[in-house]
Amino acid sequence: MTQLVALPDGTELAGEYKIERVLGAGGFGVTYLATEPALSRSVSIKEYFPSDFATRGEGLEAVPRSKGSVDDYNWGLERFVEEAQTLARFDHPNIVRVYRIFRAHNTAYMVLQFEEGQNLKSWLKGLGRAPRQKELDGIVAPLLDALEVVHKSDVLHRDIAPDNIIIRKSGDPVLIDFGAARGDIAAHSKTKTVSALVKPGYSPYEQYAETSRQQGPWTDIYALSATLYHAISGKRPPDSPSRMLKDELRGAREAAVGSYRDGFLSAVDSGLKLAVDARPQTVAAWRGALLAPAEKQAPALFGAINRIKERTEVRRKADRAKREADAVANAPVPPPPDAPGPKGGLLDFVDALQKPAEAKPQPVEAPARKTTKPKAAAAPVAKAPVESKAAAQLPVPIAQARGKRKTRPNPDVARSRALMRGLKTKLAIAVTLAAALVAFQDQLPKLPLVPGTDITTGTLAVATAERQINQRDSFKAHDAAVTGVALSGDGRLVVTASADGTLKVWSAQSHAPIGTIMLQGGPATSLAVRNNRAVTSHRDGTTSVYDLDTRNRLYTFKRNEAAVWAAVFAGTEDAVAAGSHDWSVTLWQSGSETTPLTVFEGHQSAVQALAADTSGRWIASGGADKTVRLWDLERRDLRRGYRNFNDYVSALSFSTDGATLAAGSLDGSVKLWSVPSGRGMRTFGGGSSRVTSIAFSPDDSLLAIASDDGAVRLRSLKRARNQWALTGGPGATTVTFTNDGRTLVTGGRDGMVRLWSMPEAEIAQRN
């Protein structure tokens, strides 16, 4: 086909579009660059024009070449329109967007978003070198998400190749030029033009058949694997028919001209298998191997040092366990959760130091573990190291227990140790007094210091400066209390969960309702959102994943009847972690709804809170055993535990950079921990009831804390003295930030969602 049959430049279509030039032409159509003057934008317009059995008639009319091709022409026209209608349903940032479909000149036109950038083939050529692993990961991950959305709608692309992937100026990829309709038209046509069905080097063998019965998601996986092979080797793979006769394809590891992860190269090879059943059958089954980070190998020297540290730690376990036991025995016992007493007063603390020692009350026991604990489904179980039990079994004179030779005590050493203990005790008292002063200050009543502040307006009063945070907007979301609020990955949707057993999706810009999801498991005990998916947990033991665009339930996971109190996405949309009343954390993969990947065990009571860092490396779990545990998702084992909580852990959140973990508890306090070092950083007091929600601002400069009594505290993490407290309006029990960090979103007991403008001084400090 030549441009002689294309519409002339300047042609007007539908009275709204003006053709500027031809972008490309193929066996089934012509693509034009056009302008839409009414909206001052450029668009792409694809015209149905199968050159094998169509020609340009008088004027601009497209007509069949002969009477024998009329049926083929009309049948193909309907398939073209149907495909446009299907693509128009997709609203994904990495799938070309269809604005409109209309008929004119005896044919049909598809109006598409014009993507500025260059195709992947040109992008690779422009690099002048092999692409780096990080660059490919940034392209592959969004394409997999887009392809999965397409496949779940029972649609195949059928034409993935370097020239059908556009790399935007921002670096994001977008899938264009779907070939599903072309394949159907070619298969139906009497001409049986095989060249229209396939793209040499990128199409698998089943695509060369006259029917599409053997085609499926694995067909697109082959084409994307061939595209990645081209990217890492600089040339396309051999055609699949020639490979069937004699397979001369070099493995990806051998053909690669750059350095890439072993798992990535193996995944490319698996996607290029000739046999249909030898390839990954779904994107979800392929994604893990393709994007999994390389396992870090510790240098030999570091390995030796680590082994020495491990042996030393074994020798010190008994002493450490004894010191911890003594510290717990000598510490004041917190009151039970259902009978809270006065706490934290500085004068009471000093009086307690001056009083003689009294009989110690018995410590409050954790909830008794049920003897009828539901059995877990068959799955690998990652056991937490039982350090305290091992230490408790060692006799106190640890040297004798291990058969070591007794040594005569040195009196000088004993005196020096006594002096050191005295210094440490004094230092501990000084630090405790300073901490008590801070805690006492946090417990002072939060009085609004802003002159003229009306406590009925719901404004946020600044406790350290004469400034206030104003409510910017609000909307009624539910008739019952809002129990969860979150934003989609692109920030265009607000998602709310309620005690009424529904999940609702709203426009973040206009607050108009988009859709309602009836939760089959009843009211959600937790809500988390990643990209365009939401996960909810329920008391009936289920954890469900929903697509926010279609409002369809995608998966439901259930291991036993124990209530699930928290659920989060574990690094990707296809991995979910669920914290349960049976003291465990279960990791699920979307490919299997019955058998979990891993069950993490180590808590000594119900798991009530979960958090996942955005990189997918860590999962943090907090429970009624007053501990937080950090799980390594790569190794699927326990990294460390955080203790020193006075009460049950009820809320968790990772900072955006994953370096800080915030944990809120039943007593209203919030502790910050360093994830790399495991050290405690800060403790925020001032709360009087259970912390229900914690959120870091996107730049990690602010921390929002919601409590069961409806109070919201806002803390600056860069300026310690800057803090705010909600002084009016209905109580809010769930909080989150918008993607730009300029707005705090709260969900209230009255069913309202409120938006609060952040302090301008704090925002200015970030820039």
- Token reading at 454: 């009306």
CA separation for the pair 142, 93 (Å, rounded): 9
For the ranges 396-405, 504-513, 757-766, which has the lowest average pLDDT? 396-405
- 410-432: buried (b, 16+ CB within 10 Å) or exposed (e) per residue? eeeeeeeeeeeeeeeeeeeeeee
Q: Which amino acid is at 588?
A: W
Judged by DSSP in three states, 284 sits in: helix
Mean pLDDT across the stretch 483-487? 94
CB 376 within 8 A of CB 560: yes
Judged by DSSP in three states, 640 sits in: strand
Judged by DSSP in three states, 116 sits in: coil
pLDDT tens column, 311-328 = 666 666 666 665 655 554
CA separation for the pair 442, 725 (Å, rounded): 11
Domain that holds residue 6: 1-114
pLDDT tier, 753 (very low <50, low <70, confident <90, very high otherwise):
very high
CA separation for the pair 151, 141 (Å, rounded): 16
Mean pLDDT across the stretch 162-171? 91
Tell me, yes or no, whether 70 lies in a domain: yes
Tell me, yes or no, whether 34 lies in a domain: yes
Domains: count for the chain: 1
pLDDT recorded at residue 316: 66
Burial class for 405, CB neighbours closer than 10 Å (0-12, 13-18, 19+): exposed
- C-alpha distances in Å from residue 151, one per residue of 145, 190, 215, 414, 475: 10, 29, 12, 73, 36
**How many C-beta atoms surround the C-beta of residue 195 within 10 A?**
9
Q: Which amino acid is at 448?
A: P
pLDDT at 500 over 50: yes
Please work out, in degrees rounded to the nearest 5, the angle formed at the alpha carbon of residue 619 by the alpha carbons of 748 and 658: 80
CA separation for the pair 384, 619 (Å, rounded): 14
CA separation for the pair 541, 538 (Å, rounded): 6
Tell me, yes or no, whether 226 lies in a domain: no
pLDDT tier, 304 (very low <50, low <70, confident <90, very high otherwise):
low
Mean pLDDT across the stretch 62-89? 86
> DSSP letter string over 713-759?
EEEESSSTT-EEEE-SSS-EEEEEE-TTSSEEEEEETTSEEEEEEPP
Tell me, yes or no, whether 63 lies in a domain: yes
Tell me, yes or no, whether 65 lies in a domain: yes
pLDDT tens column, 624-659 = 989 999 999 888 889 889 887 888 999 999 999 899
Percent of the chain with pLDDT over 70: 72
pLDDT recorded at residue 572: 87
Tell me, yes or no, whether 84 lies in a domain: yes
Q: What are phi and psi of 391, to 5 degrees?
A: -70, -40
- C-alpha distances in Å from residue 526, one per residue of 487, 590, 703: 14, 19, 20
CB 611 within 8 A of CB 652: yes
pLDDT at 446 over 60: no
For the ranges 7-16, 238-247, 352-361, 481-490, which has the lowest average pLDDT? 352-361
| Best-predicted range by mean pLDDT (291-295, 372-376, 433-437, 473-477) | 473-477
pLDDT recorded at residue 27: 66
CB 95 within 8 A of CB 146: yes
Tell me, yes or no, whether 707 lies in a domain: no
pLDDT tier, 271 (very low <50, low <70, confident <90, very high otherwise):
very high
Q: Higher confidence at residue 345 or residue 273?
A: 273
Q: What is the DSSP letter of 541?
A: S
pLDDT recorded at residue 87: 87
Mean pLDDT across the stretch 263-268? 95
Dihedral angle computed from the Cα positions of residues 522, 523, 525 and 530, in that order, rounded to the nearest 10 degrees: 90
According to DSSP, the residues that pair with 535 across neighbouring strands are: 528, 545
Tell me, yes or no, whether 237 lies in a domain: no
CA 683 to chain centre: 27
Percent of the chain with pLDDT over 90: 42
- Given the structure tokens 């999962």, which residue do they identify? 619
For the ranges 249-263, 546-560, 657-671, 677-691, which has the lowest average pLDDT? 677-691
pLDDT tier, 254 (very low <50, low <70, confident <90, very high otherwise):
very high
pLDDT at 737 over 90: yes
Question: What CATH number is attached to the domain comprising 3?
Answer: 3.30.200.20
Q: Higher confidence at residue 725 or residue 563?
A: 563
pLDDT at 560 over 70: yes
**How many C-beta atoms surround the C-beta of residue 89 within 10 A?**
12
